[in-house]
Amino acid sequence: MYHIDFNKPIRVHFIGIGGISMSALAEILLERGFEISGSDIKKSALTDRLSDKGVRIRIGQTAENIESGIDLIVYTAAISKDNPEFEAAEKSGIPMLTRAELLGEIMSNYSVAIGVSGTHGKTTTTSMLTEIMVAAGLDPTVTVGGILPSINGNLRIGGSANFITEACEYTNSFLSFLPTVEIILNVQEDHLDFFKDINDIRNSFRLYANLLPENGLLVINGDIDDYEYISGGVKCPVITVGKTENCDYYAADICYNETGCCSYTPVCRGISGERVELGVPGIHNVYNSLAAIAVADWLGCERGDISSALKNFGGTERRFQKKGVVRGFTVIDDYAHHPTEIDTTLNSAANYPHRRIVCVFQPHTYTRTAAFLKDFAKSLSHADTVILADIYAARERNTIGISSEALKDEIDKLGTECIYEPDFENIQKIIINMCGEGDLVITMGAGNIVEVGEALLKNY
């Protein structure tokens, strides 16, 4: 594998530079004096930000984008092998790295490199830990898979030896990382277009955990089935967080406020700490924050800084994000695209002020929809009404004959009102005619369903 000499900046070209992670990595290299160019299939706020910083962005991916003078090419897992720019890159003989390999190279420059992993909760936990470390004066460099308002985007470039990033298991990308500290939040079935089954996924997390050095730290959810299979063989200290007193860190006396945000007393090895009030709703965020606290304690952060940071953290974009109020009903947007995440989001909604809950769901990828069809139906049935958009294809083609109509059939069997409507404008009209004072409308999914709520706020 090609290794970068960070003391000798070169020209790096990114195929898919507009991705949430790719844009952050491009900006990190730019700040270190590298010359950056890149391409993407469409303009976005992230490509505009890079353009404003002097990065040459080309919209559209063509063979002509691979030109002389490029020293290194970086590409994402989303780039297909028949992409003309990727094909030209392979033929060019120019060294190539995946996004994950580049991230691993960057992590090697930091003495404390924190990778936050898990099937769910990575963005929120990474953001919580970022807020804590900034409040504690640790000045971290951060890449996060969402837009965090306090850092004005998905990237923070710090001046210390501390680095934080999300670590995604898809295509085993996190096995290219070089973490010194890891958080493993949960391990569940997902990405079954790549993994064979849950055992394949668990093995991947075990390999990830075993990347840690002896002077590192593993924080793992002690409620994961047989979590010691994953942590087995790790040479560094292991800290468990979870729901019971069997874990090193657990939460006592959990209470909800009027907006569904929890407060609790963190207990570490039998010793109660300063009470924590969260600024984001949902019981799942109790356990996300416990993992962040465990790492923060290890780093030596003051509990006062930890508590104030968690209280002030209001969430990232697309994670139970309040978008506004239209004709008396509240519009929330959430990135949930897995049955467990839907359960979590609708549980949060149940503790949020509402008359009834209308969930506007856009399934994400054909393989995930097919693999969890009945689970999706069961999770969505917790809403009072479900409106289904078409499946967002992302990186896939529909070779398995799955559809949102099939999901509607399963929801109908459970007795929950369900409407299938492929057209976003028609979905807006349905919502306007259906919803009134006190209702809660949640646009949900990892695709572009957020546009429905934004259009409602703009047009009505």
User: Strand 417-420 and strand 440-444: pairing?
Assistant: unpaired
Do residues 315 and 128 touch, judged by C-beta distance below 8 A? no
Do residues 84 and 63 touch, judged by C-beta distance below 8 A? yes
The CA-atom distances, in angstroms, between 267 and each of 63, 206, 243, 249, 276 are 57, 27, 11, 6, 11
Distance CA 274, CA 179 (A): 29
Distance CA 291, CA 123 (A): 13
Positive or negative, the CA dihedral 279, 280, 284, 288 is negative
- In Å, the largest CA–CA distance within the chain is 63
Is residue 344 within a helix (H) or strand (E), and if so which, with residue range?
helix 339-350
8-state DSSP, 64: G
Distance CA 260, CA 352 (A): 5
Point out the residues that are catalytic. Answer: 122-123, 166
Distance CA 400, CA 398 (A): 6
Q: How many CA atoms lie within 13 A of 175 on its CB side?
A: 10
Nearest Cα neighbor of 293 from 305, 284, 283, 282 is: 305
**Which residues on adjacent β-strands are paired with residue 418?**
386
**Which residues on adjacent β-strands are paired with residue 165?**
115, 143
Q: How many CA atoms lie within 13 A of 28 on its CB side?
A: 29
